[in-house]
Amino acid sequence: MKNPRMLSSIKLSAPAKVNLFLEVTGKRPDGYHELATLFAKIELADTIYIRKAKKPGVSLKIINKSGCKLSAGQDNLVSRAVVAVIAAYKIKEGVSITLTKRIPIGAGLGGGSSDAGAALRGMCALFNLTETPWKDAKIRKIARGLGADVPVFLYKEGFLLGRGIGDRLTPLRVRGPLPYMTLVYPGEPVSTAEVYRRLVLPPRRGVLTNLRSLSKLKLLLEGGGSLSDWKNLLFNRLEEAVLPYHKTVRLSRVELVTWGAQAAMMSGSGSCVFALSESRSRARQLAGLVKGEGRNVFATCFTRGSCYADKRDTHPPDA
C-alpha cells in the first residue's frame, strides 16, 4: 500500500557491510563470478538527505568525512541511482541530495552500493513509488544495473545470504548475542576488478566443503550461537588474491591477530580488515592498539532487524 502523505524530504542511513563468508563458486560467460556469501550490515554508515526541488534535474553535494577522494559528478552512484528512478518513473520534479560520507571507498565495505541503495529507497518514499523496494521489479532492475551489491541495501534486514553474483538474496533472522567489531581501513583502496583478475578459481571439492561451512554458519547464527561457536567458520576466498599483493592490508590483518583478536578477516575484496570480539571494551581496546599513521580505525558493531533509521520531512544536515 502506498503512503498517501506526500513527503518533501527524507534523511536515510546507508550502512556499511562486511562479508562474514565469501566463496567464489564459478565464473559466468559474461565475466561475472558466481558467489556464495553472507552479508552483515554494521553501524558505520553514511547519511543521505534527499529533498524535492522546484527546478528539474539532480544536484549532489558531498560532505566528505571519509578521508578519501570523492567525485560529486554524474558518475557518482547516488546521482546515477536518482537519475535512473526519475527516468523510469517519468518524474518531473528535480531532486537535491546531500551525502555525508564516512565509509572509506575501495574498502570492501559496500559504501558506494549502500549509498545507491539508500538513494533508491529514498526516491521510493519521496515520490510514493513503493513501500517495499526490495520486492519491486523495476527498482530491483535499476539496483542490479548499478552494481552487484546494490540490491543488498534495498533490504531492511541486517544479515543476508547472497548467491549468483551476490544479488540472489535471502534475509536471515539472527538470534542470540552478536560480537563487537574493530574495523581497520589501511589507508589505500583495492581494485575489485584487479582482485578478480588475479583470483585462481578453487577446485570443486574445496568449494563444496566450504559451502557446508556456510550452511553451518547460517544455522548457528539463526540458532543463537555465540562467537566462539562460529568464529572458525569465517572465510574469504578473495584474501588469497589480495594479501600477497597489498602489504598494508596484510599487516593490518596480522596486527589484529597478534594483538589477540578472536577472529580476523578481510571484508569483500578489501582493503578493510575486521576483528570480532565478545565485548565492546575489547573491540575498543583493539582499535587503540592497531591505530597507526594512514589508517582509519573504527570500533563498531552489527545491526539486526530493521537496520535503517530513515527520517521523513527532516531538516538538511549541517555542513
The residue with cell 564516512 is: 102
Compute the distance between CA of residue 189 and CA of residue 195 in angstroms, rounded to an integer. Answer: 12
Do residues 89 and 124 touch, judged by C-beta distance below 8 A? Answer: no
DSSP state of 237: G
Phi, then psi, of 93 in degrees rounded to 5: -80, 160
Catalytic residues: 17, 149
Q: Are 181 and 274 in contact (CB under 8 A)?
A: yes
Query: 3-state SS of the chain: helix, strand, coil percent to 5?
Result: 35, 30, 40
Record the cell numbers describing residue 164, joined without a space: 549468483
CA atoms of 232 and 138, how far apart (whole Å): 39
Written as one letter, the residue type at 138 is: K
Fold classification of 180-301 (topology level): Alpha-Beta Plaits (3.30.70)
Contact of 293 with 208, CB cutoff 8 Å: no
> Which CATH code of 2.60.40.1120, 3.20.20.70, 3.30.230.10, 1.20.1250.20 fits the domain covering 9-172?
3.30.230.10
Place of cell 575484496: 269
Per-residue pLDDT of the chain (319 residues; tens, 9 = 90+): 444 467 899 999 999 999 999 999 998 888 789 999 999 999 999 999 999 998 889 999 999 998 887 776 678 999 999 999 999 999 999 999 999 999 999 999 999 999 999 999 999 999 999 999 999 999 999 999 999 999 999 999 999 999 998 889 999 999 988 999 999 999 999 999 999 999 999 899 999 999 999 999 999 999 999 999 999 999 999 999 999 999 999 999 999 999 999 999 999 999 999 999 999 999 999 999 999 888 999 999 999 766 555 566 556 665 4
Residue ranges covered by each domain of the chain: 9-172, 180-301
What pairing do the DSSP bridges indicate for beta strands 235-236 and 168-171? Answer: unpaired
Query: What pTM, to 2 d.p., does this model score?
Result: 0.92
User: Would you say 111 and 300 are in contact if contact means Cβ atoms under 8 Å apart?
Assistant: no
Residue type, 268: G
d(CA 82, CA 88): 10
CA-based nearest residue to 41, from 171, 143, 212: 171
Query: What is d(CA 223, CA 139) in angstroms, rounded to the nearest whole number?
Result: 32
